[in-house]
Chain A
Amino acid sequence: MKKSILIVDDEPNIVMTLEYTFKKLDFEVFIARDGSEAIQILDTYTPDAVLLDIMMPNIDGYQTLEYIKSKDNLSHTKVIFLTAKNRASDMEKGLALGADKYLTKPFSVKRVVAEIQELLQ
């Protein structure tokens, strides 16, 4: 079955690269430019993984994660933070909220792919 992934980031350039990469790996790819768009998509779809930025306007990454954790139908969805916030405290907070992985920018595309594939096995 085709795996699906939701990419949440407000930087079009980054989104473009990730979208290209995952589509090439035959993922179904959803794009959201901030937390509120992400929530809208999650109300309709149940992606296998969510790549989540933290610093976004309106609803940020933390709030989006809380929303995901509150939804029963999303209990199997893996959440990976992909953020410029690289302080230890930020990482702890992200993991404490229930994120499955915490990756920091700038990232290696290969690494992101590897982490996601590992999580989805």
Chain B
Amino acid sequence: MSNYFIIGIIIIYLALLFFIAFIAEKHAKSKWVNNSVVYTLSLAVFCTAWTYYGSVGIAANSGIDFLPIYLGPVIAAPLWIVILRKIIRISKQHKISSIADFISLRYGNNRFLGALVTVLCLLGIVPYISLQLKAVSETFQILSLENNYVATSIFDDSTFYIAVLLAVFAAFFGTQTTDASEKHKGIVVSVAFESVLKLVFFLVIGVYVTYFLFDGTSDIFDKMSQTENFKSLYSFNGFENGFSWLYTILLSFMAIFLLPRQFQISVVENVREKHLKQAIWMFPLYLLLFNVFVIYIAWAGNLSIGNPDVAEYYALLLPLQNGNNFLALLVFLGGFSAVISMVVVSTLALSTMVSNNLIIPYGFLDKFLLNHPERNARYIKNIRRISIFFIIILAYVFYVNLSFYSSLYSIGLIAFVIISQLAPSFFIGLFWNRGSSKAAIIGILAGLAVSFYTLIIPLSIEAVAGSSFFVNEGLFGLSHLKPHAFLGVDYLSVPAHAFFWSMLVNVFCYLVLSLTSKGNYRERNYAEMFVDSRNYSKLQDNALVWKGEAYVTDIKNVLQKFLGDERTERALRLFFTKYDLPQDTQMADARLINFSEKLLTGSIGSASAKILIASVVKEEEVSLVEVLKILEESKETIANNKLLKDKSTELLLISNQLKFANQELVQKDQQKDEFLDTVAHELKTPITGIRAATEVLLDDDDDMPKELRQRFLENMLNDSDRLSRLIHNILDFEKLSTGRSDLNLGRHNIRETIEKASDSLTQLAANKNIKLWSTNKSDYYLKYDEDRILQVLTNLISNALKFTEPGKGNIYVQYKYDNGYLEVQVSDNGKGIPTEDLPYVFDKFYQSKNQNIKKPQGSGLGLAISKQIIDNHGGKIWIENNAKSGATFSFTLPFVK
């Protein structure tokens, strides 16, 4: 293919990307842009040219060693729900726009730490970007006809123009707003689109190689197994290889969180937390699909081409070798897509860090305070744009001068080792509130120094000079200081060795310094908020501890410089409304300070925001004790509020219960009064009768007829009986309810007992012309006190007699077996019980107002005594009104052995 043709394709492809990004920006709120699939696909920015070409290279030369770099992210994915969600939550609340901002904020807006993280990321990522450029350049050359063509100056190097175009793309879509924490929908959607392309094209070439060039997977495997050293390509090789796997998995695990481009896509560009839920399975699936054909393309390359030096480009060379230029072009475009997304997102992330954590806090702050807001916005955007070009040009320069010496794979690993130095301060700081800024800075510096000593310096020396005394013999000729076998550890691969030592030193410094030195109050403050991020969303603006004097107008002036008048007014109005403060509040409080810092963070980074706000307020040093106290207080307030709420609900419940109990008591009291009246009445009535009759008889002067005298005497007798019955009932009930009356239990047949009860009342019923039915003939033997049960039955039946109308009345006595109990029912067709009286029927002294006879004859104790008797037998007694007319009294007796 001719150069011009390829360049034409590249330009068309880039134009397509611009178009997609443009459309996405235009429809930034559409659901086609904001969904979990786009989020997951954009996460696949993880798969760079390293994945696309490099994996095949490793697979060809060292077998399945290409896998662990994908196992790390796969292991990390389920943890996203815990770790990444926490990071996203904190970042959104603080308008964090990069990992440098994140780490610097965790350690109290530490300016130096933010700058250090930025420099470290530049160190790790710029060579990585240059690698991508190298891949474009090399694949371009392979594809073009002029195989031996080597650029003589940058102006006739196509890679340079591609790099510039990428910078334009990143600069255009990456700096639409001054607030870097805003979403970049155009870039995200184009990255997602590229992720689809690179996967599809890679799968196409995989299928082509496996099924068209060869006869399927087993064909490749069979042919490969006949070659030498085959076994080493698909198995582990002892301890060294095992550790190498472990280390690569760990490294890639960290990278998925720490790489600036991953942080940019997974945290800053995250639209909704819930997209994570889909991403945790879709992203591993994507990686799996990507790796299905790697080993077959590699082995096919080994079999057909067999040149380990170009193994990385087997995917491109195989179709070319077989004359399929179209497929080769697709492969090239897939690889090119991987490059573009990585370069664009990385430079975007790095440029934000460079501007917000390096350039602005270290040089431009004073200037900003004097400028107009529009000018400041232009300044900030320009700083970012220049940063983007600067980074890409730096990467290009690096590529031209250095990267020829190293393979894609090893430079990628170096980048990972450098970036992984952020891991201790990032991960441990997220869950351990003791981690301090001093510890983070020294840990990172020490880890970086170790990785320089053991990896970067030796590699650079070797790249330039071939081999060196330093590498072979160690510093000053001391074998313990050999950079690749530090302290005699000589059984690890070079990067694994560097990773091991740098991490060890880094973590050690971090932990020891955190434990021995305490950070300042601000640091502890943010540490507390980050570690406790779940409660934090409740603490919100209150969480920042701040003491001092500040005027709202001063703060407003600063905000206006960056947000403009309108946005500042709106933001402050919202703030005052939210906290119920008057709109003309004069003095700023901690909440406003915190709120303003957050507003500025997106534009100029957290460290700068802190410095700017601090410049207009008179802040007093707050002691650590105060910080902890205030934090504890705000936490306690929340806890107390909850406790208070619980308590008050409980109190309400108790007071309701009390109210109810009180009502019951009042009712009981009334009942008692009524009963006493009844008892008095009942006692006095026969006494009155006796007394009056006695008086009449005494005064009688013998003119009273004999039968009248007889009737007076009979009345006196009846009244005496009535009196003694009443007294007996009261005492009986008292005995039963206090348990002083023992049941005389024996085995009896219920049929016989009911017969006895009916017999004693048949006459009474017949007198009133009421029919008494007891039709059951079954024998049930159970243990009970027959006299007492007779008392109950007699009571219930005579009650029924009282409630039924003479001549029309029917009373039924029935019984049945029911689940371990015998249930006896006495039902009538009388008036029934008023519904409102139903609950009180068994209370002592209750007397229905609904009786047929004129005068209540009972003591009001009959049913109360019956209930007591049944209770004492371990049964239950209750009453229901019948559907039609009358009531049914039922009681149960247990069958016990």
Binding site for B on A (CB under 8 A): 10-11, 13-14, 16-18, 20-21, 33-34, 55-57, 84-86, 105-110
Contacts and interface: CB of A to CB of B under 8 A. Distances in A.
A11 B688 contact: yes
Interface stretch (B505-513, B708-716, B883-891): B708-716
Contacts of A107: 688, 691-692
A9 to B, nearest CB: 9
Contact of B695 (A56, A84, A109): A109
Given A85-B677, A85-B680, 15 more contacts: A13-B689, A13-B692, A14-B685, A34-B854, A56-B855, A57-B851, A57-B855, A84-B677, A84-B688, A86-B680, A106-B687, A107-B692, A109-B692, A109-B695, A110-B695
B849 interface: yes
B684 A17 contact: no
B701 to A, nearest CB: 10
Nearest to B708: A20
Contacts of B855: 10-11, 56-57
Contacts of B695: 17, 108-110
A57 to B, nearest CB: 5
Residue of B685, B691, B718, B719 with most partner-chain A CB within 10 A: B685
Contact of A57 (B686, B718, B849): B849
A31 B680 CA distance: 24
Interface in B54-112: none
Contacts of B854: 10, 33-34, 56-57
B735 interface: no
A105 B685 contact: yes
Contacts of A16: 711-712, 715
Interface in B665-704: 677, 680-681, 684-689, 691-693, 695-696, 699
B875 interface: no
20 contacts: A11-B855, A13-B692, A13-B693, A13-B715, A14-B692, A17-B689, A17-B696, A34-B854, A84-B680, A84-B681, A84-B684, A85-B677, A85-B681, A105-B684, A106-B692, A107-B691, A107-B692, A108-B695, A109-B695, A110-B695
Main secondary structure of the interface of B (DSSP, over half): helix
Contacts of B691: 106-108
A57 B695 CA distance: 28
Contacts of B696: 17, 20-21, 109
Contacts of A10: 854-855
Contacts of A14: 685, 688-689, 692
A105 B681 CA distance: 9
B685 A18 contact: no
Interface in B701-751: 708, 711-712, 715, 718-719
B856 interface: yes
Nearest to B851: A57
Contacts of B689: 11, 13-14, 17
B693 A11 contact: no
B693 A55 contact: no
A57 B856 contact: yes
A18 B693 CA distance: 9
Main secondary structure of the interface of A (DSSP, over half): loop
A-B pairs with lowest CB-CB distance, top 4: A13-B689, A17-B692, A106-B688, A84-B684
Contact of B685 (A11, A21, A110): A11
A82 to B, nearest CB: 9
Nearest to B849: A57
Contacts of B719: 13
A105 B685 CA distance: 7
B851 to A, nearest CB: 7
A13 B690 CA distance: 9
A13 B677 contact: no
Contacts of B677: 55, 84-85
B849 to A, nearest CB: 7
A109 B700 CA distance: 13
Residue of B691, B719, B849 with most partner-chain A CB within 10 A: B691
A58 to B, nearest CB: 8
Contacts of A33: 854
Nearest to A58: B854
Interface string B822-866: 000000000000000000000000000101001110000000000
Residue of A10, A18, A56, A84 with most partner-chain B CB within 10 A: A84
Interface string B623-654: 00000000000000000000000000000000
Nearest to A18: B692
A47 to B, nearest CB: 20
A18 B687 CA distance: 15
A83 to B, nearest CB: 9
Contacts of B718: 13
A38 B689 CA distance: 21
Contacts of A17: 689, 692-693, 695-696, 712
B688 A55 contact: no
Contacts of B699: 109-110
A108 B695 CA distance: 8
A13 B412 CA distance: 118
A106 B696 CA distance: 14
Residue of A11, A13, A84, A109 with most partner-chain B CB within 10 A: A13
Nearest to B680: A84
Contacts of B693: 13, 17
A114 to B, nearest CB: 13
Contacts of A86: 680
A86 to B, nearest CB: 8
Contacts of A109: 692, 695-696, 699
A18 B686 CA distance: 14
Residue of A16, A18, A107 with most partner-chain B CB within 10 A: A16
Contacts of A57: 849, 851, 854-856
Nearest to A21: B696
A57 B849 CA distance: 7
A20 B697 CA distance: 11
A60 to B, nearest CB: 11
A24 to B, nearest CB: 9
B685 A84 contact: yes
A48 B831 CA distance: 39
A106 B684 contact: yes
Contacts of B688: 11, 14, 84, 105-107
Contacts of B681: 55, 84-85
A23 B677 CA distance: 31
A55 B97 CA distance: 90
B845 to A, nearest CB: 14
Contacts of A108: 691, 695
Nearest to A107: B688
Residue of A11, A18, A110 with most partner-chain B CB within 10 A: A11
A93 B376 CA distance: 93
Contacts of B851: 57
Contacts of A84: 677, 680-681, 684-685, 688
Nearest to A20: B696
